[in-house]
């Protein structure tokens, strides 16, 4: 019990540090490095939300999905088509992107969650490929290979005064607060009876069904919630880049998200943001000097799986949580050694 409580304290402390870092990034980063890194920090936040959608399925539900890029891409196109084709304002277009990604997850999930293990992984790839080629075919709507660019509408307007994402600070903090709200929502959900039921299904679906859980419905709900997270990330990325492209629906994007989740720590709330941050930093730094930087990424994945099965976040949380218990054990042993010597 003490270890579990200590793990919660460490998780909260680590989460607080990550929150404070990203909250202060637009102020701190320009003081120590190129302001370009503020945009990278915003990109890390967005991609970590996609990795969180993978983590919800893999780390908590026991389902390995290589199709989360589909809902990310649909979220992007929801925003882009809403603005460029339907003439929607900022908030309706953002809502359309999230709704489109979530709805697509609900549609495909009704079939996908009937399968498990590698069959589930394969069908998620199949769905991703199907809609990727559909997006390429519907060039008049999606822009095909060229993608779909759009002009960003203002967030709010009062007379002649407007506020929008053209302001870098407004853009960053909009991304920050949306991502923070999603992670907070995910944390609340995972600590609810629903979240505990997902863990029970991950550990043993047959036993969970025997005690009365509707495994299909719980998996479907988890899949839809993961689609919501991926769709929100896609909508944010569309607003961030003023662009949507079918290339973001391809399964290799899902593969990257899986790697980020595993390296950071599948089954931990903070793992996706840690893994995403680390690997994007490696990409941005090493890609300038070494074309084969992905070899290092592969090595990191192998070492993580071998020596830290719970990822970087799980390793750090477990290590720090064990320190008080280890210190207490040594303190209790000291008097016994002295008595034995006497």
Residue 341 has a pLDDT of 47
Residue 334 has a pLDDT of 59
Residue 296 has a pLDDT of 85
Tens-place pLDDT, residues 206-235: 899 999 899 999 999 999 999 999 999 999
The yes-or-no verdict on residue 332 having pLDDT over 80 is no
Phi, psi (rounded to 5 degrees) for 88: -75, 155
More confident residue, 138 or 329: 138
Residue 162 has a pLDDT of 83
Residue 1 has a pLDDT of 43
| Cα–chain center distance at 258 | 9
pTM over 0.95: no
SS3 category, 21: helix
Topology of domain 2-154+163-324, CATH = ABC transporter involved in vitamin B12 uptake, BtuC (1.10.3470)
The yes-or-no verdict on residue 338 having pLDDT over 60 is no
Percent of the chain with pLDDT over 70: 92
| Averaged pLDDT of the chain | 88
Residues 10-22: what's their mean pLDDT?
88
H or E element at residue 204: none
Lowest mean pLDDT among 243-247, 260-264, 318-322, 337-341: 337-341
Residue 4 has a pLDDT of 57
SS3 category, 148: strand
Q: Residue 189 burial by CB count (10 A; 0-12/13-18/19+): exposed, middle or buried?
A: middle
Dihedral angle of Cα 303, 307, 310, 314, to the nearest 10 degrees: -100
Residue 330 has a pLDDT of 61
The yes-or-no verdict on residue 238 having pLDDT over 70 is yes
Cα separation, 320 vs 17, whole angstroms: 15
Tens-place pLDDT, residues 138-159: 988 998 888 899 998 888 888 7
Lowest mean pLDDT among 132-136, 181-185, 313-317: 313-317
Q: Which pair of structure tokens corresponds to residue 22?
A: 């990203």
Say if CB 13 and CB 20 are below 8 A apart: no
The yes-or-no verdict on residue 2 having pLDDT over 50 is no
Exposed e or buried b per residue across 27-46, where buried means at least 16 C-beta atoms within 10 angstroms of its C-beta: eebeeeeeeebbebbbbbbb
Say if CB 215 and CB 85 are below 8 A apart: no
Handedness of CA 212, 216, 217, 221 (dihedral sign): positive
The yes-or-no verdict on residue 132 having pLDDT over 90 is yes
Tens-place pLDDT, residues 159-197: 778 888 888 999 999 999 999 999 999 999 999 999 999
């Amino acid at each position: 019990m003490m270890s579990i409580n200590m793990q919660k304290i460490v998780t909260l402390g680590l989460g607080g540090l990550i929150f404070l870092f990203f909250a202060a990034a637009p102020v701190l980063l320009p003081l120590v490095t190129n302001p370009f890194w503020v945009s990278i920090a915003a990109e890390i936040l967005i991609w970590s939300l996609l990795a969180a959608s993978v983590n919800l399925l893999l780390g908590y539900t026991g389902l390995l999905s290589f199709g989360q890029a589909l809902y990310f891409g649909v979220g992007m196109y929801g925003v882009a088509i809403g603005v460029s084709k339907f003439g929607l304002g900022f908030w309706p277009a953002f809502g359309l992107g999230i709704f489109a990604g979530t709805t697509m997850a609900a549609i495909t999930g009704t079939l996908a969650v009937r399968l498990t293990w590698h069959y589930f992984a394969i069908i998620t790839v199949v769905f991703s490929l199907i809609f990727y080629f559909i997006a390429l075919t519907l060039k008049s709507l999606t822009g095909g290979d060229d993608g779909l660019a759009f002009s960003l509408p203002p967030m709010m307007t009062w007379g002649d005064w407007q506020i929008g994402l053209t302001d870098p600070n407004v853009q960053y903090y909009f991304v920050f607060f949306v991502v923070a709200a999603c992670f907070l929502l995910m944390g609340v959900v995972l600590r609810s009876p629903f979240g505990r039921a997902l863990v029970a299904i991950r550990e043993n679906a047959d036993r969970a069904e025997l005690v009365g859980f509707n495994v299909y419905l719980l998996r479907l709900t988890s899949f839809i919630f993961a689609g919501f997270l991926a769709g929100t990330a896609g909508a944010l990325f569309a607003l961030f880049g003023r662009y949507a492209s079918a290339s973001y629906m391809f399964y290799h994007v899902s593969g990257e998200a899986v790697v980020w989740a595993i390296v950071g720590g599948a089954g931990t709330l903070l793992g996706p943001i840690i893994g995403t941050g680390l690997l994007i930093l490696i990409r941005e730094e090493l890609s300038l000097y070494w074309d084969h930087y992905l070899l290092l990424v592969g090595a990191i994945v192998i070492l993580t799986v071998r020596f830290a099965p719970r990822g970087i976040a799980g390793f750090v949380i477990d290590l720090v949580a064990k320190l008080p218990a280890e210190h207490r054990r040594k303190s209790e042993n000291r008097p016994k050694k002295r008595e034995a010597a006497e």
